[in-house]
Amino acid sequence: MVKVSRVEEKSIAEELGIQPGTELLTVNGRPVADFLDWEFLTADEELVIEARQPDGEDVIYELERLDGEPLGISLQPPSVRRCANKCEFCFIEGLPPGLRKPLYIRDDDYRLSFAYGNFATLSNVKERDIERILEYRLSPLYVSVHATNHEARKILLNNQRVPDIKAQLSRLTEGGIQFHAQMVIVPGLNDEEVLEESLTDLWNMGDAVLSAAVVPVGLTQFSHLYTGKGMDRDTARTILIQVERWGERANRERGQTWVFGSDELYMLAERELPGAEHYGEFAQIENGVGSVTSLRMRVSQGLGRVVRRDGQRIGVVTGLAMAPVMEPLLEHLREASGADFKLIVAQNSLFGPTITTAGLLVGKDINEDGIFLDDYTLEAVRESLPMPIFPSYDFIDVLESESSGVLA
Ligand code: SF4
pLDDT of residue 406: 47
**pLDDT digit string, tens, across residues 330-364:** 999 999 999 999 998 877 666 666 666 655 555 55
**How far apart are the CA of 89 and the centre of ligand 1, in A?**
8
Model pLDDT, residue 71: 94
Most confident stretch, 215-219, 349-353, 376-380: 215-219
Report whether residue 90 contacts ligand 1, using a CB cutoff of 6 Å. yes
369 against 209, higher pLDDT: 209
Using the atom order of ligand 1, give the atom closest to the CA of residue 121: 1
Whether the Cβ atoms of residue 210 and residue 203 lie closer than 8 Å to each other: no
Provide the pLDDT confidence category of residue 387 given band limits of 50, 70 and 90: confident
Mean pLDDT, the chain, integer: 89
Confidence band of 103 (pLDDT split at 50, 70, 90)? confident
- Quick one: which atom of ligand 1 is closest to the CA of 119? 4
Whether 109 is in the pocket of ligand 1, judged by its Cβ within 6 Å, is no
> What's the average model confidence in pLDDT over 154-177?
97
288: left (phi over 0), alpha (psi -120 to 50) or beta: left
- Is residue 47 very low, low, confident or very high in pLDDT (cuts 50, 70, 90)? very high
Question: What pLDDT is recorded for position 214?
Answer: 98
88 pLDDT tier (thresholds 50, 70, 90): confident
pLDDT surpassing 70 at residue 163: yes
pLDDT, tens digit (0-9, with 9 covering 90-100), for 189-207: 999 999 999 999 999 999 9
130-138 average pLDDT score: 96
Q: How confident is the model at residue 261 (pLDDT cuts 50, 70, 90)?
A: very high
- The pLDDT of residue 364 is 53
What percent of the chain lies above the pLDDT cut of 90? Answer: 70
Q: Is 182 in the pocket of ligand 1 (CB under 6 A)?
A: no
For ligand 1, atom 1, the nearest C-alpha belongs to 85
| pLDDT number for residue 372 | 44
Q: Is 121 in the pocket of ligand 1 (CB under 6 A)?
A: yes
The CA 144 to ligand 1 mean position distance, Å, reads 9
Query: Quick one: pLDDT band at residue 172, thresholds 50, 70, 90?
Result: very high
Task: Report strand pairing: 179-185 vs 141-144.
Answer: parallel
With contact defined as beta carbons under 8 Å apart, do 363 and 381 qualify? Answer: yes
Residue 403 confidence (pLDDT) = 64
Region 272-289 average pLDDT: 96
| pLDDT of 154 strictly over 80 | yes
- Indicate if ligand 1 lies below 6 Å from the C-beta of 118: no
* Short-list 61, 25, 22, 68, CA closest to 44: 68
pLDDT at position 18 over 60 = yes
Residue 371 has pLDDT above 50, yes or no: no
Give the pLDDT confidence of 50-59 residue by residue, as tens digits.
Answer: 999 999 999 9
Comparing 329 with 227, which gets the higher pLDDT?
Answer: 329
What is the rounded average pLDDT of the residues 306-333? 89
**What average pLDDT score do residues 244-256 get?**
98
pTM: 0.87
Q: How confident is the model at residue 367 (pLDDT cuts 50, 70, 90)?
A: very low
